[in-house]
């Protein structure tokens, strides 16, 4: 399905993040014909894949603050240069189920991107 869509950037949620999770994500990226920046632990199960048509300028996987014992939430950010040299930032976010936490998380995600 991913190969049929042929995206330049693919934002994912609920990626495996426990034992051997990184290997599974890397295999999935390869099967899709895409690249994975790696190191997604702590990002709440989010990551971003990229195609060969874009040049990765930077990638981060970050954690959002949540109240214990809630599940880890986070986001993955990738900055790419698209053909022609323009830059694009894509973010895959996994927000809390709690409304008040979603509002504060929005500020945490948007502020670093300014």
**Per-residue pLDDT tens digits for 58-79:** 999 888 877 777 777 889 999 9
Residue 42's CB is within 10 A of a number of other CB atoms, namely 13
Using alpha carbons, select from 43, 52, 55 the residue that is nearest to residue 11. Answer: 43
The pTM of the full predicted model, rounded to 2 decimals, is 0.85
Buried b (16+ CB within 10 A) or exposed e, 10-24: bbbeebebeeeebee
In the sheet that 73-81 helps form, which strands lie side by side, from edge to edge? 55-64, 73-81, 87-94
Residues 16-53: tens digit of each pLDDT: 877 788 899 999 999 999 999 887 766 678 999 999 99
Which of these, 2, 12, 3, lies nearest to 44 by C-alpha position? 12
């Amino acid at each position: 399905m991913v190969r049929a869509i042929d995206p330049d950037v693919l934002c994912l949620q609920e990626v495996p993040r426990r034992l051997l999770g990184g290997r599974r994500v890397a295999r999935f990226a390869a099967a899709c014909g895409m690249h994975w920046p790696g190191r997604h632990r702590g990002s709440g199960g989010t990551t971003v894949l990229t195609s060969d048509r874009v040049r990765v300028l930077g990638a981060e996987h970050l954690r959002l603050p949540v109240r214990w014992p809630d599940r880890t939430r986070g986001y993955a950010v990738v900055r790419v240069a698209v053909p022609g040299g323009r830059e694009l930032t894509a973010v895959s976010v996994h927000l809390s189920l709690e409304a008040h936490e979603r509002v504060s998380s929005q500020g945490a995600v948007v502020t670093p991107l300014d």
